[in-house]
Amino acid sequence: MQPQWPGLALTPAPLERRLLAGLFDAAAVTALSLVCFLVPMVLRGVVLPMWGVLAAVVGYQVVPLAFLKQTVGLRLFGLELVRKDGHHVDLANLLFRELIGRGFFPAAYLLTLLAGVVAASLGVAGTTTPVLLGGLMALASMGALAMAIVGHLIALGRPDGRTLADLFASSYVAVGPTRAPPEDEDEDEREAWLAHRARVKRNIIVFEVVLFASVLAIPWALSSRGGETARERGARIAREALEKKFAADPGNEAVALELERAWWQAGRDDEARKVEARFFEARKKREGEREASLRERFAKTPDRATATALVELLEDQARLDEAAVVYRRYVDADGRPATRAGFGHWLASVGRPDDAVNELEVAVRADPLVPFGHTLLGVSLIRAGRAEEGRQQLLLALADDPDDDDAKSALVDVEAMLGPSTDEMKKKAAAAVRAWKADAGVD
């Protein structure tokens, strides 16, 4: 015979059997919770994790315990959850015992919070819970979960083997049956008992069907209210995340393009155009602020880095006249022929060959050996329609540097128009370069 609780006609559940039954039920509740979580998400794109856990715990644990005194796990191991008189534990105590005392509800909230944080970081979902309220609820849930864990452990040190959840719910896990059914001799009473038992089981089945049907019905109602499919809902959530990023930084080109593409795919052309307009407005404002900063810095110190940044900014906006003014001021402040040659090259690249020729001629007069000066001047002269003068400059460039590939290529083109260069032209160019190098003291 197993020992009984003092003063109670109940046989305590052996710890091993109770532990095995608890592990079985915990695994079953976890599996049902996952089903309640994943099925609506796959079918409707709606996630209600708290409702799924609540439905699983109430359907699998609370209702069977309230009316049958057993879960599947307890039945497999011949155990029952009862009051001290052997009757059913009332529904309110069972709800508290299973949801709070055993830690299912706080664990579900913390997992939901973690899933929400991960989803928000990935940009696929958001939360409307205020930060302070969410933090307080998280702390309360962690405290409740810790209490539930400790509550299970204290059963190991108590002579009656009851957990903290049992103490709160005034419940006992005992070896069944805790109350024997009517004897066969009392036929009427036994038939009434069996009929009542059948009605209870039928009602439980009906309740379970309705409960788990609502696991699908509620997400269906929520998603169907706006006529959204799972894919449309996912696209909307992603679009809302992009809108938040775009609102924080409307000048971000990557985010603007992604949001604009999302609106095009949704068939909302007007919204896509609004995004584009707002992006260009933000970029124009940002570029205006940057231009003002660069101009202020350039006015104080017309250095190369500031001049380059300002010229590139103006060039991107097709404001070439203003860019040329800035570049010319930098050239005048710098004073080196190489810098002026670079200015001439820029003028040629933006389609101003005549201005390029003028600047390059000034540069090569100041320093006939300026790097690539004659090459650039030769190409610019050809583009300006002065092919013969251009050839002379190219010959000078090759006399200075026979390996100048740009000069070689340009000379081939111009000779195709004008005919081959004579030896006299080449000798004259070579003599001029020797004289420049002698004046400069260059071998």
Are 213 and 257 in a shared domain?
no
Per the CB < 8 A criterion, the answer to whether 292 and 282 are in contact is no
Cα(356)–Cα(348) distance, integer angstroms: 5
Per the CB < 8 A criterion, the answer to whether 311 and 302 are in contact is no
Please give the mean pLDDT across all residues of the chain. 84
CATH number, domain with residue 415: 1.25.40.10
Residue 327 has pLDDT above 60, yes or no: yes
Are 161 and 236 in a shared domain?
no
Q: Who wins on pLDDT, 161 or 7?
A: 161
Q: Is residue 308 part of a domain?
A: no
Q: Is residue 311 part of a domain?
A: no
Query: Could you tell me the pLDDT band of residue 1, with boundaries at 50, 70 and 90?
Result: very low
Q: Is residue 123 part of a domain?
A: yes
Residue 408 has pLDDT above 90, yes or no: yes
Model pTM greater than 0.85? no
Per the CB < 8 A criterion, the answer to whether 302 and 330 are in contact is yes
Query: Could you tell me the pLDDT band of residue 105, with boundaries at 50, 70 and 90?
Result: confident
Cα(236)–Cα(250) distance, integer angstroms: 19
Nearest partner of 397 among 357, 424, 364, judged by Cα = 364
Q: Is residue 370 part of a domain?
A: yes
Residue 380 has pLDDT above 80, yes or no: yes
Name the packing angle between helices 405-418 and 373-383 (round to 10°): 30
Q: Is residue 262 part of a domain?
A: yes
Q: Is residue 295 part of a domain?
A: no
Structure tokens at 329: 């001021």
Cα(360)–Cα(375) distance, integer angstroms: 10
Q: Which residues contact 426 (CB under 8 A, 6 or more apart)?
A: 395, 399
Q: Which residues contact 377 (CB under 8 A, 6 or more apart)?
A: 344, 357, 360, 361, 363, 364, 390, 393
pLDDT tens digit string along 26-48? 898 888 888 877 777 666 656 66
CA distances from 198 to 60, 193, 382 (A): 18, 9, 105
Nearest partner of 129 among 144, 149, 112, judged by Cα = 112
On the question of a cis peptide bond just before residue 40, with omega within 30 degrees of 0, the verdict is: no
Q: Who wins on pLDDT, 231 or 236?
A: 236
Q: What is the pLDDT of residue 309?
A: 92
Distance of CA 75 to the CA centre of its chain: 47
Are 170 and 268 in a shared domain?
no
Per the CB < 8 A criterion, the answer to whether 81 and 65 are in contact is yes
Domain boundaries, position 257: 230-281
Which contacts (CB < 8 Å, 24+ apart) does range 434-442 have?
Answer: 436/368, 436/369, 437/369, 440/369, 442/369
Alpha helices, DSSP H only, in 301-352? 304-316, 320-334, 337-349
pLDDT tens digit string along 126-142? 555 566 777 788 888 88
Are 361 and 270 in a shared domain?
no
Are 342 and 211 in a shared domain?
no
Highest mean pLDDT among 99-103, 206-210, 277-281: 277-281
Q: Who wins on pLDDT, 229 or 110?
A: 110
Cα(152)–Cα(168) distance, integer angstroms: 12
Q: Is residue 424 part of a domain?
A: yes
Are 119 and 98 in a shared domain?
yes
Are 135 and 46 in a shared domain?
yes
Nearest partner of 162 among 22, 95, 171, 4, judged by Cα = 171
Are 266 and 167 in a shared domain?
no
Are 67 and 144 in a shared domain?
yes
pLDDT tens digit string along 426-436? 999 999 999 99
Are 100 and 240 in a shared domain?
no
Are 237 and 220 in a shared domain?
no
Are 158 and 39 in a shared domain?
yes
Identify the H or E element spanning 174: strand 172-175
Structure tokens at 98: 């299973």
Distance of CA 99 to the CA centre of its chain: 33
Q: Which residues contact 439 (CB under 8 A, 6 or more apart)?
A: none
The total number of structural domains that make up the chain: 3
Say which DSSP state 421 is in: P
